[in-house]
Amino acid sequence: MKLVRGCLALFLTLMFLVLFDPVQRFVIVPLARLYPSRRVAILGRWQHIMRWISLSPIIYVGGARFPRPPAIPGGEGVLIIMNHQSIFDIPLVVESLPVNAFPRFITRKRYFKGIPLVSHLLRLYEYPSVDPQAGSEEMRRSLGSIRDAARKKDAPLCIFPEGTRTKDGEIGPFRPLGLRMILKQRAWRVYVLVGDGYWKAAKMKDFVRGMAGIRGKLELAGVFEWPDPGQNSDAFAEEVRRAMVDRLAEMRRAAPAPPPTSGSPSGPAPGTSAWDSRPGASA
């Protein structure tokens, strides 16, 4: 029965992506062009609708449960750093923002073609792309797109600095180039998120068979101020990574919470750091 529910939920999710692709192209895009002063709000609301549509079959048919993420403000100068365990990381970050705001993710280049609704969405929201297998020239273009995205003022920027998902959900080593380029561009308020439990469903076979057992957590590891782009970004990145490792260890030591109905609150974040980290707030 779990396999049947998982397959049905996956089918419904894919069907919704196909059905809503023309809505995005022929309704949302013209609206955003017709009302440029409301473009961010229109795109923000649409991304939140897509988050709800894509997760609803997984929740109501597949039986998965997701926490309510910590609240993160939208707007200029907000950087979100999160570990990467599964495809669920993206809609959880979207949900953390106000409904009239959207995050801009650093995304792999291969997702920009061939996926109904998603590939067009990546281009519509001007996500910067990266290709880990690219040569030096393509890598320079990728870093340029990250630089340009970091300078935009309409949306928070989100990066998964590990660059890929880890097999056991542990915090992997950071790939420094992207984060280093982002931190060089401006001052940031950095919101550091840590998720756990989703890595068990990272592979398609585990995702479909184990959908009903998905019970992840998402907590705020801290809010860090990055006031001066001239500071040592590598040392800052290491400080952030240590906060993520410590928070993940705390989450795994804690007793498992019962499956939430509307989400489980985040606990307090670690203390301050050399970069004026403030304790994280509960969701």
- Mean pLDDT of the region 97-104: 97
pLDDT averaged over every residue in the chain: 88
Please write the tens of the pLDDT for every residue from 27-48. Answer: 999 999 999 999 999 999 999 9
pTM metric for this prediction: 0.88
Please write the tens of the pLDDT for every residue from 170-190. Answer: 999 999 999 999 999 999 999
Residue with the bigger pLDDT between 264 and 6: it is 6
Q: Is the pLDDT of residue 134 over 60?
A: yes
Residue 78: pLDDT band (50, 70, 90) is very high
Residue 243 confidence (pLDDT): 98
- Mean pLDDT of the region 2-18: 93
Please write the tens of the pLDDT for every residue from 146-174. Answer: 999 999 999 999 999 998 888 889 999 99
244-250 long-range contacts (CB < 8 A, ≥24 apart) are: 244/81, 244/83, 244/171, 244/192, 244/194, 245/171, 246/221, 246/270, 247/194, 247/219, 247/221, 247/222, 248/83, 248/169, 248/170, 248/171, 248/194, 248/196
Please write the tens of the pLDDT for every residue from 230-247. Answer: 999 999 999 999 999 999
For 2-253, give the CATH class.
Answer: alpha beta
- Mean pLDDT of the region 189-209: 88
Q: Is the pLDDT of residue 279 over 70?
A: no
Residue 240 confidence (pLDDT): 98
Residue 272 confidence (pLDDT): 32
Distance separating alpha carbons of residues 241 and 261, to the nearest angstrom:
31
Kindly list the domain boundaries of the chain, sorted by start residue: 2-253
